[in-house]
Amino acid sequence: MTELLDHLLATPILAIALTLAANVAGIRLLKALGAPAWCPPILVASLLLTSVLALLSIDYADYRRGAAWLMLLLGPATVALGLPLHQQMPQIRLLWRPLLACLPPAALLAAAYAVAIAWLFGARPETLASLAPKSVTAPIAIGITEQLGGSVSLMMGGLLITGVVAIGFVGLGARLLGIRDERIIGFALGLNGHALGTVRAFEIGPVAGAFASLGMSLTGIVSALLLPLAWRLVGP
């Protein structure tokens, strides 16, 4: 059994198949249960995948090596977000001033709140560095975490939790503040909830999706440029 598994793990096929299967199963399960919109299928799919890896006693490093082939598609998928961005350009142009004014403080605060809370709870510096890019889209966040000296695995887990709770809180906060504007909701989803928030925003509508893509990419750029700088200034 172990030998067969080792043989299958020699190519990335098994890791990719397991990831796809967990994803399909997660979506099916949520649909069957009639789960609410704030619960993204990736949460269930990740738990399913973890259980399968543990059951088959597949080493995470082995799985990760194979699944890296799937993650390669993150590059072209990020480029692809340029299309909805272009389609909604008239809407975005209309609002460029508030968008640009809101972005730097909101993106930096997204990191600062989390780091401050973790610091108050006495988390280690390495943990703080892993939490700082929690609202940044994965390919950029990996670079930031490495620069700050954090753990990429913890950061990615933080991305998942942040994405899930951001989806819930944006819905809740919008209701609380009486905001129905798809543009504001989408922008908040992308800025705080990176790719997961952006996926949710596209479910709301194409306008929300485009504003989420914009929020996600601008947060990524601002964080990549400013977080390492701010980190050196504060120096935890």
Partner 1 sequence: MPALRGFLWLLGFLLLGEILLTLTGLPVSAGVVGMLLLTAWLLLHGGGFDDIAAAAQPLIAVLAMLIMPGVVGVFFLVDELAGQWTAILAALVGGTLLSVLTTLWLMRRLMAKRHGDPRDPGHD
Nearer to partner 1, 6 or 139 (CB): 139
89 binds partner 1 (CB under 8 A): yes
68 binds partner 1 (CB under 8 A): yes
**Cβ at position 2, least distance to partner 1 in Å:** 19
DSSP symbol at 133: T
148 binds partner 1 (CB under 8 A): no
CB 133 within 8 A of CB 151: no
DSSP symbol at 180: -
Q: How far apart are CA 21 and CA 24, in angstroms?
A: 5
Q: How far apart are CA 141 and CA 124, in angstroms?
A: 19
Site for partner 1 in 92-121 (CB under 8 A): 94-95, 97-99, 101-102, 105-106, 109-110, 113-118, 121
44 binds partner 1 (CB under 8 A): no
**Cβ at position 54, least distance to partner 1 in Å:** 8
The H or E element spanning position 235 is none
Site for partner 1 in 170-199 (CB under 8 A): 170, 173-174, 177, 179-181, 183-185, 187-188, 191-193, 195-196, 198-199
Which value, to the nearest 10 degrees, does the dihedral of the CA atoms of residues 89, 37, 168, 146 take?
-70
Query: Residues in contact with partner 1, total (CB under 8 A)?
Result: 112
Site stretch for partner 1 (CB under 8 A), options 2-10, 28-36, 152-160:
152-160
Q: How far apart are CA 175 and CA 179, in angstroms?
A: 6
Residue located via tokens 């510096």: 125
- Contacting residue, 129, 133, 135, 148, with partner 1 by CB under 8 A: 135
